[in-house]
Amino acid sequence: MWYNNILETIGNTPLVKLNKIVKDVPGTILAKIETTNPGNSIKDRMAVKMIEDAEREGKLKPGGTIIEGTSGNTGMGLAIAAVIKGYKCIFTTTDKQSKEKVDALRAFGAEVIVCPTNVEPEDPRSYYSVSSRLERETPNSWKPNQYDNLSNTQAHYEQTGPEIWEQTEGKITHLVVGVGTGGTISGTARYLKEKNPNIKVWGIDTYGSVFKKYKETGIFDKNEIYPYITEGIGEDFLPRNVDFSVIDHFEKVTDKDAALMTREIARKEGIFVGNSAGAAIAGLLQLKQHFKPDDVVVVIFHDHGSRYMGKMFNDDWLRERGFLADEKLTARSILAKRESQEIVTIDIDKTVTEAINTMKTLNISQIPVTQHDKVMGKITESDILDALLENPSVKSQTLEAVVTKPFPFVDLNTSIDKISAMINKENSAVLVEDEQGRFEIITQYDIINAISGA
């Protein structure tokens, strides 16, 4: 047997029992592994459904352009379908999304426009607003609008819900799903509750999102909204696809818990999944007291871990956000292991001769250069030597004549591995701002001293 095209392989994803990561949770915990879809995410299901419904309704015509605001996964599903069906794609996304997601969309020939995260949906710079403007300006274009397009929910009512019911032989008691657009949880829940109204549906939310409070109070509280790191779940508005009537409870999970649990799933279950899966398992563990030994719990694993290599699976990224324990030496511990020393800087208006005298007096080989008390460059012995060999009269000129680009800045939590990699022929040191806002300089000698004294 073969398939006529890749779109026919969407769906019928496996249900896998979780073991080590949920060992303290009563009941049978099953993960719906949506990474086996061709776009490696559950969003393939609704992307194709939205396109087919739009074609049927005459909204999407041959040779048309699909324009959508997407965090990456919906875009991937749309892009794959567009390749098969002959459409162009333009996607807008936010600057908090992983680079891997953006690169993956471009790999399928899509144009991707990155917009700022920390603006309201109505702001003309938001990825919602930019996609709407592009749709108005682009002839023969169509915007799926995954948030309000109810084909999203319908895809899961027709596919995901029935699959879970059949795979559990109707024994499912709980559904746990991260909530973003709301289509996955609403469509799946509606089908399952029609089969058995006693099934509990729990949505996973994040701090900075409005869902939980709205469900519990009916109040849309703008004070609840603030930037967060977790991808794929939570929103700062109420999409039409979120059917609060079929969701029994929302559980909030912190960015840190979601990120660290994403890594634990790979290490304890051998399943390589993305950030929303980490949030879902973290939320499930927070709710473990509500489960009984006979319960059958299904958790949706939305997408693949390869989309998060620069984030949740990157130690330095986690460490810079304070999510990872300080197991390795970091900039903070390097500074702690050496004697306190005041950093020497020199103003750009000083002459090259003055810089030479400062270096000679203090026995140093490089100095950060400042302008209005801000570091804007550096000078080194080799910079000065090269300039003097080319033009001996340069010594009477200001440092503007010899200044080069500044040393790289690092965070106090940056690992020794990353700092070492940044120190090379071009940069003999790095700069770090301490907790009091003072600048410190770390050289190769400081690293050697920290390692040998560790």
Catalytic residues: 43
CB 331 within 8 A of CB 414: yes
Maximum Cα–Cα distance across the chain: 88
Task: Please measure the distance between the N-terminal and C-terminal CA atoms of the chain and give it in whole angstroms.
Answer: 61
Angle at 52 between CA 82 and CA 126, to 5 degrees: 60
The gap from C-alpha 209 to its chain's centroid, in whole angstroms, comes to 16
CA 315 to CA 130: how far, in whole Å? 33
The letter for the amino acid at 11 is G
Angle at 87 between CA 82 and CA 89, to 5 degrees: 75
CA 394 to CA 371: how far, in whole Å? 20
CA 447 to CA 454: how far, in whole Å? 10
Cα–Cα distance list, 410 to 210, 310, 374 (Å): 34, 17, 16
113, β-bridge pairs = 92
CA 419 to CA 234: how far, in whole Å? 35
